Amino acid sequence: MTVTYDLPGELTVEAEGPVRTVVVNRPAELNAVNERLHWAFANVWRQLAADLEARVVILTGAGRAFCAGGDLDWIASFLDDPVARDESLREGAQIIEEMLRFPLPVIAAVNGPAVGLGCSIAVLSDIVLMSDTAYLADPHVSVGLVAGDGGAAFWPLLTPILRSREYLFTGERIPAATAVELGLASRAAAPDDLLPEARRLAERLARQPVEALRGTKRVVNMHLSEALRGAMQAGFAAEAVTMRSEEHRDRLLALRRKAG
């Protein structure tokens, strides 16, 4: 059965046998998340699950970045649009919930910077391969926000809390080698080897017994879902409060002016 994906051009799905490669496709903007891409991240997982010929998913970015976090123009629009702000939070929770319940293995091929939501999406994948030149970062606190869309809730399940605090509090970049050391990535590869390595791994997983692989992922993710339930709700609630703060407004607008 051929599945037609109903997605905006900001997120594309390429099929090669049983492997689906999902590409974040705003290369000129370093794959920063705008409204259409955010919606696509929330809705792609059910469409992939409905593709009965799919066995494994590779997630990567077009161009130089994996995903540079939120598009500043889109984020700034929330300052005076509480409806859009609240919808973005609801959709953000949907992204995490859909990834946790998604039945197929997901390999993140982190080809460049993975920042903010991009970092959360990478780390929520089942296997995280990083280019030697890539890095992770969650700069929410630096722009006056609680790291509610995954970082504060999810990182402490994967890496020592003391190390999580330092990177979340400062927003400092985590190079690929350090991400592997901390347990936020599986392994690093040379830039030219990243996608070939991801494809080799995807093909190997595609040959595994389907139900055994899916069942194993389901059991592993039960631990994550249980541990995250309260923390995620608290995280998004706290992020919503800080989105209304003057400190966030001032820092976001200053960052936007600097970027412009």
Please name which of 145, 51, 43 lies closest in space to residue 104, comparing C-alpha atoms.
Answer: 51
Q: What is the pLDDT of residues 191-228, one digit of tens each?
A: 999 999 999 999 999 999 999 999 999 999 998 888 88
Please name which of 68, 174, 52, 60 lies closest in space to residue 118, comparing C-alpha atoms.
Answer: 68
- Look at the alpha carbons of 24, 27, 31, 37 in this order and tell me if their dihedral is positive or negative: negative
The answer to whether position 229 is within a domain reads no
* Containing structural domain, residue 59: 11-210
pLDDT value at 12 more than 90: yes
According to the 3-state scheme, what is the secondary structure of 41-52?
HHHHHHHHHHCC
Q: For the chain, what is the domain count?
A: 1
Please name which of 105, 115, 117, 94 lies closest in space to residue 186, comparing C-alpha atoms.
Answer: 105
The answer to whether position 221 is within a domain reads no
Please report the pLDDT score of residue 151 as a whole number. Answer: 84
The answer to whether position 125 is within a domain reads yes
pTM assigned to the model: 0.95
Which amino acid type is present at position 47? Q
DSSP 8-state secondary structure symbol assigned to residue 3: P
Q: What is the pLDDT of residues 82-125, one digit of tens each?
A: 999 999 999 999 999 999 999 999 999 999 999 999 999 999 99
The answer to whether position 41 is within a domain reads yes
The answer to whether position 231 is within a domain reads no
Task: Report the CATH number at residue 199.
Answer: 3.90.226.10
The answer to whether position 137 is within a domain reads yes
Distance CA 78, CA 245 (A): 12
The answer to whether position 244 is within a domain reads no
Helix (H) or strand (E) holding 130: strand 127-131
The answer to whether position 192 is within a domain reads yes
